[in-house]
Structure 1
């Protein structure tokens, strides 16, 4: 079905409408073989609070943006290559009464989204899973093994999740470790470490993750001659 729609006029028009909704600030989306599978509004669990976002699923990418005018205008376009995506079901969020959620995990960024119904969640997960599977089968690549951590929302931590002592206030701000996603205080996250999948520059990590990353980096590599009997 996807192959049949790839070069159809109807598919081209649908993609053109999506491009138009993002305006000049959005990246072009029409390329040969790309098909718009579906679209819908999902609740994305952001750092501060849940926010509605418009999502578009193509056969090779997942696109989402802020809703300015529903069905007419979106901004802050994000494009995620599906080859790098892994999805897992997520627990309900009691604080905001959110259900029907799942994790969208990639090497650069991972987050949780929630659908309005269980049926909608199932359809989204099935379609995303099929698109990812088809892409990997065609390319012969293996699924991505490492993903960025899902950030713990600010509201779920009143004290530092590492030292368990520092209370967050207007002065003592919350920070996020880019490796584990924990909410941590400034003194517990003063160090930086290079996480190539997330940034070309060293990023903030907590003391615990810094120790783990440093130990891994300093671990001596086994010599190729170590197994040779002399």
Structure 2
């Protein structure tokens, strides 16, 4: 019955459409309507009967009960009948609402390419959806994104090319538990707000002031309902910019943007493009230099991955002292020194083309000569690699600036006994 009621409007539209489009269909319907069994009523009228039946029974019984004398022998049966039919009416309405919610969830499931099966659940409900702009954590550049807000999660999605309708890929799934929503003020980007979850922090830009207010209201209502249902009665803090000490590593931080600081937020030394570049602590979100971010710790919010953190966060998360970390670094092999770390404190660093053997193709590598180890050439696969491919101790090597048999420009050769390395730079400096 609930399914019939839910599909009633669509069925009526289909009948009307085909009565207009098909003369043959129209003739068949009109012929049936002329039959005595139809009582000279239209097909649409008969289709409406089941919709009206249960509410009509309820109204008739209520009216009948009002007119019954208090001492009537019929009163007890009438009251019981009214209770049954009222329950049926309530159940049918509830069934209709559940089916409508499930239909919406199935539509969302299909838009996500069928990859989020836990969405189609009777306990879930889609609260709000819509396009939004995501502001990049580093430089405030914006990217088009799409949000699906359910009663227990926020799906942060990116548009996906498709020939069969609108499709999205879920980039991040943020749980409502522990979520916070704050309005932000950015003079270059109006109508912004921040969603802070355990899994990630998003700074978003709505299309208008009204759209922003609607998103903030919807999110805060869901957070409030979630907290009440879980008997936590937590209150969203309006002004909590950074992760508390107790939550370090358990909750994604808000990244301070590169253009918001000119000094390392730990050692206060000024940044520059060559020797002191900006890095982000993955635990607190501060912008720090390489010296202040040469630590690593596992972060619970990021599936316990080993991530770059500042010294203060390292001590809090791991419980180790700075001296213990330095002792561990002494035991670490030279090959495990990060490319970014040695590049920022180097005599020279740049891309090189490396020829292992004359019969093999050239390989592009990232070469570094560190200031504290200038007699060793470090070769990495890329500038941000955490481990070197190889190292070459340069002491005793001869340099040939015009090697024979090499037909590429800007080539040079390192030779020592039986060891030969051929390189080429990208420009002739």
Q: What residue number does 1:63 align with?
A: 155
Q: 2:223 aligns with which of 119, 132, 157?
A: 132
Q: Is 2:282 aligned against 1:178?
A: yes
Q: How far apart in 2 are the matches of 1:113 and 1:130? A: 18
How far apart are 1:207 and its partner, in Å? Answer: 2.7
Count of residue pairs brought into register by the alignment: 211
Q: Is the 8 A contact 2:155 2:170 kept in 1?
A: no
Q: How far apart in 2 are the matches of 1:66 and 1:27? A: 18
Q: How far apart in 1 are the matches of 2:206 and 2:278? A: 28
CA deviation vs aligned residue, 1:4-47 (integer Å, no higher than 9, x gap): 69953222222112111121444541112211111111111223
CA deviation vs aligned residue, 1:120-159 (integer Å, no higher than 9, x gap): 1111111111111111111113549744311123454566
Q: Is 2:300 aligned against 1:210?
A: no
Q: 2:202 aligns with which of 100, 111, 132?
A: 111
Q: Is the 8 A contact 2:297 2:318 kept in 1?
A: no
Q: Is the 8 A contact 2:148 2:156 kept in 1?
A: yes
Q: How far apart in 2 are the matches of 1:204 and 1:175? A: 9
Q: Is 2:116 aligned against 1:12?
A: no
Distance 1:187 1:5, change over 3 A: farther
Q: How far apart in 2 are the matches of 1:60 and 1:47? A: 25
Unaligned runs of 5+ in 2: 1-92, 237-243, 322-429
SS across alignment from 1:8: helix
SS across alignment from 2:168: strand
Distance 1:214 1:12, change over 3 A: closer
Q: How far apart in 1 are the matches of 2:119 and 2:190? A: 31
Q: 1:166 aligns with which of 259, 271, 293?
A: 271
Q: What residue number does 1:38 align with?
A: 128
TM-score, length of structure 2 as denominator length? 0.44
Q: Is the 8 A contact 1:102 1:113 kept in 2?
A: yes
Q: Is the 8 A contact 1:110 1:150 kept in 2?
A: yes
SS across alignment from 1:62: strand
Q: Is the 8 A contact 1:162 1:184 kept in 2?
A: yes
Task: Name the structure, 1 or 2, with higher relative contact order (CA <8 Å, separation 6+).
Answer: 1
Q: Is the 8 A contact 1:6 1:32 kept in 2?
A: no
Q: What residue number does 2:14 align with?
A: none
How far apart are 1:199 and its partner, in Å? Answer: 3.8
Equivalent runs, 1:41-120 vs 2, <5 Å:
41-48=131-138, 49-69=141-161, 72-92=166-186, 94=187, 97-120=188-211
Equivalent runs, 1:182-197 vs 2, <5 Å:
182-197=286-301
Q: How far apart in 2 are the matches of 1:204 and 1:5? A: 51
C-alpha RMSD of the superposition: 3.1
Indicate the larger mover: 38-47 or 68-77.
68-77
Instruction: Give 1 or 2 for the bigger CA radius of gyration.
Output: 2
Q: Is the 8 A contact 1:175 1:184 kept in 2?
A: yes
Distance 1:54 1:43, change over 3 A: same
Q: How far apart in 2 are the matches of 1:216 and 1:121? A: 41
CA deviation vs aligned residue, 1:147-187 (integer Å, no higher than 9, x gap): 43111234545664444333135x86643101221233322
SS across alignment from 1:83: coil
